[in-house]
Amino acid sequence: MSFYLQPSFFILLAVAVVPAAVLGFAGRRIKYYGFVASLFFLSMLFGRDLQGFLAFLFFVVLAFGVTRWELASWKRGQKSMAKFYVSLAAVIAPLVIYKVGAVFDENLLGFIGISYITFKAVQVVLEIRDGLIKELSAFDYLYFLLFFAPFTSGPIDRSRRFSEDANRTYTAPEYADLLSRGILLLLAGACYQMVFGTICHHFYTPEAFSADHSLLYNMAAAWKDAFAYGFYLFFDFAGYSLMAMGASYCFGIRTPRNFRAPFIAKDVKEFWDRWHMTLSFWLRDFVFMRFVRSATRHKWFKSRLTCACVGYIIDFGLMGVWHGITVDYIVYGFFYGFLLAATDIYQKKCPFHKKHKKDTWYKLVCWAVTINLVMFAMSIFSGQAHIIVAGLIHG
């Protein structure tokens, strides 16, 4: 079973929400039931995929083991950095092995949802080291990792926020509010994905440039496809994210939102504050900020701006590699890395920007430039650019 795609998922979800709603209205904690429901949905998710299930089990046992080990060290006051590094390496290793294996067409340790469970496990390991997580019960940790609603593709929740929701109780009106929002989010998400996403995908017909048409025609057609794909991806992914949020709400977990009208952004930095937000925030907190902090402490760069620029390139380069070790994704990641660095330099150094940034005409120009840059990046991501470039090279 695929989550949020097949009728069976929605039918089973509708059934599974009923006991959650009873508990919610009764003012009880939903988490124990939510955990059992999650195990049920995960068993459906893996279905016949025994290999994936074993890889998943391996990951959970590994992450659980090293995290408890690290937490114990911190609780004792030992704070062993060696244990921290081992733990971090252990939770990242399966994803890295899987991604590298994929390059050679091998499925090593891979399972559906490996990326998102890794993000969550890494966050816990890092925040234990930072002393932000002082206490985390075994149950809450497992529930955080295994909660089914955002399991396959996010949004990426944070453990402290998640546990707070999982352990609280709601009054009947509070839960009624959450439940009605949850249902509406599920419906809206389904509509995004199945109606608008499908319509947009219909217009996406990527082709290499054809000698039968003028260059202008070819470019206009490519532009149309890039936009069609961009809107398709938005409706598909945002729709999915809304549904994941909706399902979470029904179980009393307020999973954070993933999209906030990304195509109105006036620069690419703002775009990433609106697009796949939980991923870009995760990367910001755990890659970019950490890099900037280390760089500042060790005085690697003379200026803060240089430091930030290198940070962006690493941050987004990693994001590209995470999507998959292929030319398209790596180019996509570094394209954004350099673009964000350039934007940062432009905004900090250019007097013209500072002078006009409040003007309406300037905002409109910025918006138009931004959306076209974003859609150009989409064409790299979708492989459309690859098709066109390959077509031009091979004639």
Partner 1 sequence: MGKAKLCSNAGAPRGDRLPLVRLGFVLGACVLCAVGLVGFKLFGNAQDASATSAADPYEGLFAPAQPSGDPGQVNDEGRYGRSKDDDSRSQRRHHGSRPDESSPRGRLLAQFYDRPFYVYPQVGDIGDIEVLATMINSRQDAGDNPRLLMGSSELSYIDPMASHPSRFFGEHNYGIDTVQVGKAGYQSLWQAMELGALDQADAVPDRKVALIVGMQWFMGDGCTTESFLNSFSEDAYRRFMENPRISEQSKEVLRSRALELGKGETELNALAPRTLSERIDAGFEDFVSREQDEGAVEQALQDNVAIPEGRFADRAVPDWDEEFARARAEGARACTTNDAGVYDEYFEEYYKPWLEGAQSQEKPERFVDWSQKELEDFKLFLQVCREVGVEPLIVIMPVKASYYDYTAYDRESRQLYYDLVRGACDELGVDYADYSGFEDDTYFMRDVMHLGWEGWLHVNRDLMEFFEAGEQP
Q: Which residues are catalytic?
A: 323
90 φ/ψ angles, rounded to the nearest 5 degrees: -65, -40
Nearer to partner 1 (CB atom), residue 41 or residue 281? 41
Q: Which of 244, 258, 241, 239 is nearest to 197 (CA)?
A: 239
> Smallest distance, Å, CB 19 to partner 1?
12
What whole-number distance in Å separates Cα of residue 43 and Cα of residue 39? Answer: 6
277 φ/ψ angles, rounded to the nearest 5 degrees: -60, -40
Q: Is the dihedral of CA 354, 358, 361, 365 positive or negative?
A: positive
Interface region with partner 1, contact rule CB under 8 A, candidates 8-16, 253-261, 267-275, 281-289 = 8-16
Residues, the chain, total?
A: 395
Nearer to partner 1 (CB atom), residue 11 or residue 219? 11
Query: Cis omega before residue 262 (within 30°)?
Result: no
> Smallest distance, Å, CB 23 to partner 1?
8
Nearer to partner 1 (CB atom), residue 28 or residue 68? 28
Q: Does residue 160 bind partner 1 (CB under 8 A)?
A: no
> Smallest distance, Å, CB 94 to partner 1?
24
Q: Which of 51, 107, 167, 180 binds partner 1 (CB under 8 A)?
A: 180
Interface region with partner 1, contact rule CB under 8 A, candidates 119-127, 140-148, 181-189, 211-219 = 181-189
Helix (H, G, I), strand (E, B) or coil at 80: coil
Q: Does residue 51 bind partner 1 (CB under 8 A)?
A: no
Nearer to partner 1 (CB atom), residue 21 or residue 208? 21
Q: Does residue 173 bind partner 1 (CB under 8 A)?
A: yes
Nearer to partner 1 (CB atom), residue 132 or residue 172? 172
Q: Which contiguous run of DSSP H or E holds residue 350?
A: none
Binding-site size for partner 1 (CB under 8 A) equals: 27
Q: Which of 18, 172, 199, 350 binds partner 1 (CB under 8 A)?
A: 172
What whole-number distance in Å separates Cα of residue 308 and Cα of residue 315? Answer: 10
> Smallest distance, Å, CB 173 to partner 1?
4
**Cβ 1 vs Cβ 45: under 8 Å:** yes
What whole-number distance in Å separates Cα of residue 332 and Cα of residue 320? Answer: 6
Place of tokens 């031009």: 392
Interface region with partner 1, contact rule CB under 8 A, candidates 7-15, 125-133, 147-155, 279-287 = 7-15
Q: Which of 19, 68, 101, 174 binds partner 1 (CB under 8 A)?
A: 174
Alpha carbon 380 to chain centroid distance? Answer: 18
**Cβ 84 vs Cβ 129: under 8 Å:** yes
Which residues contact partner 1 by CB under 8 A? 1-2, 6-9, 11-12, 22, 25-28, 44, 47-48, 171-174, 176-177, 179-180, 183-184, 187
